[in-house]
Structure 1
Amino acid sequence: MVDAAATEPRLTGTVPLYKNVEPLNRQKHATYGVNTVSQPFNFLKEWHFVPAISAEFAFACGSYPIIFLGDKKMPVLVMGLRQGSNLFVNEEGQFDTEHYIPAYVRRYPFVSAANPNDQPSTVCVDLDADFVVSENAERPFFDANGEPTDYTQQAIDFVSAFENDARTTEAFVERMIALDLLEKKDVKVSNPQDPENPVTVAEYFGVSSEKFDALPADKLKEMQTNGDLGAVVSHIISLQRWERILRRTSSAANAAAPAQA
């Protein structure tokens, strides 16, 4: 959080979910806060995956596939097959309460921004979040003395913990890459027009079962000690959740199709 007033520069770059991010400022945002809204998860409806931290793999693996994407092979939780369609948020902006809410989602509308020269990160807020208001907030960001309210302090603490977990996750991925455990994988579905050639609907990186099974006992012991073993096992278990994603995709498509006469 920063104290300089109206000269704050806007952050650059793209952060999934976030639209209009500013450093949280006790002067500029003195009257800001959040209100209860009827569609609290509207911000998530068009995102079919969100970044994940390794600490939540054990919780998330029962709900979503946990996969690795991009050049850096960072983990994400799959919540849909197509951009613009989250299968766990309904048309009323409500989250499917039977499933785990990712930490990345629970952090919103707050986020941290790195500063140069090893300075502490800055806590920021998405001012375009549906539930962020500029006045008459049910839960204000600051009290009458300009100090963070309990709500804001809890959010700051959560952002800090998430940032630490994100660094831990980066180190976890680096160790997986060093062990050459990640390989290209895909998800295929049958093609009624060409049964012999199924259609690839998803491509990603995942842990190679063969390479994982071939790890020596001392390496497995090391992974058990540093927590990597639990994360890898949770990831492998989570890949069974592709069936849920495919089933929900099919159900959503059928519901959207025009009724037959």
Structure 2
Amino acid sequence: MASAPQLPLFYNGLEPLSSETHANYRVRPQDTAPYLVGQHAIPVTVDEFPLVQRHMPIVFSIGDDAIPLALMGLNEGTNVFVDDAGKLTESAFYVPAYIRRYPYMLARLRPDAEELSLCFDPTSETIGAFDDGELLFENGQPSELTKQILGFNETFEQAGQRTQQFMRELRELDLLMDGEVTIQMDGNDQPFVYRGFQMVNEEKLAGLRGDQLRKMSQSGMLPLLYAHLFSLSLMRDIFAKQAQRGQAPQPQLQPAL
């Protein structure tokens, strides 16, 4: 989601996975994700909208290159779905694919390279030359685990391409507008106002021509837009979770992203 020299969210470095260099590398399971602590906005793909909208608000980042984001908190530095160690606090929770992809990702080793290579973050504590865990290579060949990791990353990239197309169509239809959510908390005279994100303009959506709406319905785009719109009601639930954890901000203008 970021361009060089920046690294994407969570990643501290990228190293291509090699059967020679990493012949004895293993992966060991981990039930915590410390990199999630304090991360309030996570990129999601359109393929995930139906599942994400049950648990988190889906909004769009600001700017011309907007992307869909799932909000795990309404304020910088808050994530109401993990504890201080990065362990999920809810059992029946959909974990976005972007989170599950880490510490791996497909990347071009050179700017002019056509193919994507499977890389990993060498600072991750889940992969290394351990005595325990599942091997990434066996007899110089990718193990079943590595094949599964590669397959998941390929699927994620394909979903990313569909998401880019979805965002292009949103921009062409001029359906995005600056978002604002006002939350009134009992005992406070001033409301909490959240901005700094984009959302679909319902009036413009309703005003589209019949042929445009029919095309969006047939392509599956229309249900995704309503999944986004319905999910916005969860902002109040996220706010309530923040208040329960003592993370409610002062009543003033709050940038959600």
Which blocks of at least 5 consecutive residues in structure 1 are unaligned?
Answer: 1-10, 256-261
Out of 59, 73, 85, which is 2:51 matched to?
59
Q: Which residue of 1 aligns with 2:25?
A: 32
**C-alpha distance in 1, partners of 2:128/2:142?**
16
Root mean square deviation, CA, Å? 2.1
**C-alpha distance in 1, partners of 2:128/2:217?**
46
Asked if the contact 1:67–1:76 (Cα under 8 Å) also holds between the matched residues in 2, the reply is yes
Which blocks of at least 5 consecutive residues in structure 2 are unaligned?
Answer: 249-257
Aligned residue pairs: how many? Answer: 242
Report 1:114-125 matches (<5 A).
114=108, 115-117=110-112, 119-125=114-120
Report 1:1-261 matches (<5 A).
12-37=5-30, 39-71=31-63, 72-95=65-88, 96-114=90-108, 115-117=110-112, 119-143=114-138, 145-190=139-184, 195=189, 197-253=190-246
Asked if the contact 1:31–1:136 (Cα under 8 Å) also holds between the matched residues in 2, the reply is no
What secondary structure is seen at the aligned counterpart in 2 of 1:210? helix
Q: Which residue of 2 aligns with 1:5?
A: none
Aligned-pair distance for 1:28?
1.3
Q: Percent identity, please.
A: 28
Aligned-pair distance for 1:242?
0.5
Q: Which residue of 1 aligns with 2:255?
A: none
Aligned-pair distance for 1:251?
0.8
Aligned-pair distance for 1:43?
2.2
**C-alpha distance in 1, partners of 2:167/2:45?**
10
Q: TM-score, normalised by structure 2?
A: 0.87
**C-alpha distance in 1, partners of 2:184/2:229?**
23
Aligned-pair distance for 1:201?
3.2
Letter paired with 1:100: Y
Q: TM-score, normalised by structure 1?
A: 0.85
Letter paired with 2:168: E
What secondary structure is seen at the aligned counterpart in 2 of 1:101? coil
Asked if the contact 2:178–2:195 (Cα under 8 Å) also holds between the matched residues in 1, the reply is no
Aligned-pair distance for 1:200?
2.1
Change (3 A) 1:13 1:137: farther
Q: Which residue of 2 aligns with 1:6?
A: none
Change (3 A) 1:146 1:84: farther
Asked if the contact 2:62–2:196 (Cα under 8 Å) also holds between the matched residues in 1, the reply is no
